Structure 1
Amino acid sequence: MSGTAILFLCIWISSVQPCRQGTQRYYCWWGGILENLCPGVNLKLCTQYTIQCACDAHHSRDASGNCVLTTNCDKSKRHSGTGESSSGTASQPQDEERQRLTNLFLRTVEVIESYNEFHLLMASKEIPIPLCECMKSTFESRGLNDSTRTLECFYSPVVENKANLMMKLVQRVEFVPRIEEGQVKLVLKPADGGRPLCMLWETDSSDSKNRHDCCNPTHFGCVIENSHVLEYSKRCFLHDQLVKSARDKYSQR
Structure 2
Amino acid sequence: MLYIVGIGPGSRDIMTQEAIRAIKQSEVIVGYKTYLKVIEDMLQGKETVSNGMRGEVERCQKAIKIAKKGKTVAMISSGDAGIYGMAGLILELVDKEDAEIEIKVIPGVTASIAAAAKLGAPLMNDFCHISLSDHMTPWKVIKSRIDAAAKADFVICLYNPRSSERPELLKEAMDIITKYKSDETVVGIGKDVARVNETEKVTTIKELNYEEINMTTIVLVGNKHTYIANDRMITPRGYEI
**More helix by percentage:** 2
Asked if TM exceeds 0.5, the reply is: no
TM-score range normalised by the length of the shorter chain: under 0.3
Quick one: higher RCO (CA 8 Å, sep 6+), 1 or 2? Answer: 2
TM-score (norm 1): 0.22
